[in-house]
Chain A
Amino acid sequence: MAVIRVTEETFAEEVLNTEKTVIADFNADWCGPCRMLAPMLEKVSDEHPEAKFVSVNIDENEELADVYDISSIPCLVVFKGGQEYKRSVGLIPPDAIAALLRD
């Protein structure tokens, strides 16, 4: 499954009100490590159809970045049942992204 771009308008519906575990990638266009992470996230999303993967541009969605206290990017926040479950800051390899889905 592809990584879906979400905004302040669609965040609740796509991330909070879903049965699936969600990995939300907080990023920005000017952030090199974010751009490195994006294709790896895309690859992991293909291998894990049981989960949902979304991308949040923090420049266009500053409120979401504030609500979730995102001060460093890239930041992957894992949501389960609408709640933050865990997070990982910085560039990580694909298997470490996939490991975020496990307990």
Chain B
Amino acid sequence: MHDIIVIGGGTAGLTAAIYARRAAKTVLVIEAKACGGQIISTPSIENYPAAPGISGFDYATKLCGQAEALGAEFVYDRVTGLKDGDPKTVIGEKAEYTGRAVIIATGSENRKLGLPDEERLTGRGVSYCATCDGARFRGKRVAVNGGGNTALEDALYLSDLADTVYLIHRRDAFRADPSTVSLVLARGNVKPVLNSRVTGLVADRRLRAVRVTSAGGEETEIAVDGLFVAIGREPGNRFAEGLADIDQAGYIVAGEDCRTKTPGLFAAGDCRTKELRQLVTAAADGAVAADGASKYIASLAGA
């Protein structure tokens, strides 16, 4: 048994681990993929206080090393269930783990289109990260699907590399910041395809075209070598249902104190309902949740 179990080894979870270890609590971090979380893919972080220009990889490596050096323990597993009690039980695919307090810091994942063949074609033309994979599409035709900041920033980035960038969005206007939108629309090789959804992937061994359906129901095919999906992110918190309230978008309902409706169960970082999902707010949540968890454990001891 550990004092505190942290589910998720991204910025929120690792900051929680650091604060919990410095409060002399035993900590187990359960991570599904790799220590560091979503920030690993960011080439350069420009808005984290006092560390301008640090790469996501360097940031994540330092953060993981810091948590490890302070004595946090790590295990690779995907969490599928949660049981309340003292201790609480975290159910993973490989094992069950017990802890007196639990901090959920599972972040979020790229939302998929949900189309047949999408998984097979991921890495064969379908991508969720323009800065990661854009270089493979130099001089080629690509499509970006989405209308928010990520989609428009992706289109801008890709327009420097690709021959043509189709920007497919289901509404009649982009949701992104007006300044970004005007930058994108000024690019001669960006072709907006509005009021349209991506409804099919045309492929042989790799992606060859996207099928697009307009609001009026008209279907067309656009020949592309790459499709960059930027239709938002979604948290994976279903395992916490019952012990925590989850909003319609899938986020765990918790305030700035990171407390859920179950005493001793906290939500920190991107997986929590909040206004601003940034590295610095994830780190802040981690500290707050670890402090709350330590106080919760103290209250049990005193009971």
Q: How far is the CA of A71 from the CA of B43 in the complex (A)?
A: 18
Q: Which residues of B contact A69 (CB under 8 A)?
A: 124-125, 205-206
Q: What distance in Å separates the Cβ of B109 from its nearest Cβ neighbour in chain A? A: 10
Q: Which of A35, A40, A59, A75 has the most CB of B within 10 A?
A: A35
Q: Are A35 and B57 touching (Cβ within 8 A)?
A: yes
Instruction: Contacts A72-B132, A94-B76 given; indicate if A32 touches B206 (C-beta within 8 A).
Output: no
Q: Which residues of A contact B202 (CB under 8 A)?
A: none
Q: Are A72 and B129 touching (Cβ within 8 A)?
A: yes
Q: Which residues of A contact B132 (CB under 8 A)?
A: 31, 33, 72-73
**How many residues does chain B have at the interface if contact means C-beta atoms less than 8 Å apart?**
31
Interface residues on A, range: 20 to 34
Q: Are A36 and B127 touching (Cβ within 8 A)?
A: no
Q: How far is the CA of A33 from the CA of B135 in the complex (A)?
A: 16
From A1-9, A10-18, A46-54, A84-92, give the one contacting chain B: A84-92
Q: Are A36 and B123 touching (Cβ within 8 A)?
A: no
Q: Are B34 and A89 touching (Cβ within 8 A)?
A: no
- List CB contacts (< 8 Å) of B164-191 with chain A: none
| A75 and chain B: residue at smallest CB distance | B123
Q: Are B34 and A87 touching (Cβ within 8 A)?
A: no
Partner of B206, one of A31, A36, A71: A71
Q: Are B123 and A32 touching (Cβ within 8 A)?
A: no
- 24 pairs of residues in contact across A and B, judged by CB atoms under 8 Å: A30-B43, A32-B40, A32-B57, A33-B34, A36-B35, A36-B40, A37-B34, A59-B135, A69-B124, A69-B205, A70-B136, A71-B123, A71-B125, A71-B136, A71-B206, A72-B127, A73-B132, A89-B122, A91-B34, A91-B40, A92-B34, A93-B31, A93-B32, A95-B76
Binding site for A on B (CB under 8 A): 31-36, 40-43, 55-57, 60-61, 76, 122-127, 129, 132-133, 135-137, 205-206, 226
